[in-house]
Amino acid sequence: MIRCIAIDDEPLALRQIEAYIDKTPFLEKVGLFDGALQAAEILTQTRIDLMFVDINMPDLSGMDFVKTLENPPKVIFTTAYSEYAVEGFKVEAIDYLLKPIGYPDFYKSANKAKSWFETHPQGPVQVRNDNEFLFIKSDYRIVRINLNDITYVEAMSEYVKINMIGTKPVMSLLSMKLLEEQLPEDKFMRIHRSYIVNLSKISIIERNRIVFDGKVYLHVSEQYKSKFQKWLDKNFL
């Protein structure tokens, strides 16, 4: 299934795209948004493979929105103005749909996206080298992550969100168990079924919670409490 969202400030157009997505068996609707800014948050929370984006929107155009994304999902632009087609392909859009959009044209574009994903597998890749870094498949790129930059890892459904110092989190289609096996045991510890922490980045522990940046509180669950307490006792003065 191709996980997708639709962005359009016109309610009727948005509902039409929603109906087309629901009608297409290989597309999975993750969210609908009436503006680019409203859609930005979900891109940091979960994996999105494909976006249907209207170009002409107030505040931030669909074209400008895609250009601001460091690792954007694949895009199919929708608009009533044909002059944007060339610009759309400059940002490597899968296709360009001219409104009013009929389902045959929509299905043709969706199939183009399907063909692209079939020739660009999105499976995770991990390469470990001297316990210093990993290569992780994220979106459509392989990203090098220095282990020392990681603060904590968070499970998000079938994905993991790797939070780091001084840069945006990296999302990857990867299980916590597999990532845990790749990380060195002397530097990282599972403290919860949803969290792995970099032990060297822990500076505050408060009421059985690890605090990062004074605003992120990670609970140490009962299942991992004993192991974490042993590490804490070993390093306690």
Q: Are residues 153 and 110 in the same domain?
A: no
Instruction: Kindly report the CATH number assigned to the domain that includes residue 185.
Output: 2.40.50.1020
Q: Bridge-partner residues for 216, per DSSP? A: 212
Domain count, the chain: 2
| Run means of pLDDT, 10 residues per run, the chain, 237 residues | 93 96 94 91 85 87 84 88 57 87 96 86 53 77 87 87 90 84 90 94 91 89 92 84
Q: How far apart are CA 84 and CA 93, in angstroms?
A: 12
Peptide bond into 124 cis (omega under 30): no
* pLDDT at 140 (0 to 100): 61
Q: Are residues 27 and 96 in the same domain?
A: yes
| DSSP structure class, residue 101 | P
Q: Are residues 89 and 111 in the same domain?
A: yes
Sheet containing strand 95-98, strands side by side = 27-33, 2-7, 50-54, 74-79, 95-98
Q: Which domain holds residue 156?
A: 126-234
Q: Are residues 179 and 99 in the same domain?
A: no
* pLDDT at 83 (0 to 100): 63
* pLDDT at 124 (0 to 100): 52
Q: How far is CA 37 from the centre of its chain?
A: 16
Sheet containing strand 204-206, strands side by side = 204-206, 209-212, 216-219
Other CB atoms within 10 A of residue 157 CB: 9
Instruction: Kindly report the CATH number assigned to the domain that includes residue 66.
Output: 3.40.50.2300
- Sign of the C-alpha dihedral computed for residues 190, 192, 194 and 195 taken in this order: negative
Q: Are residues 34 and 115 in the same domain?
A: yes
User: Rounded to two decimals, what is the model's pTM?
Assistant: 0.57
Q: With DSSP H G I counted as helix, E B as strand and the rest as coil, what are the percentages for the chain, rounded to 5?
A: 35, 35, 30
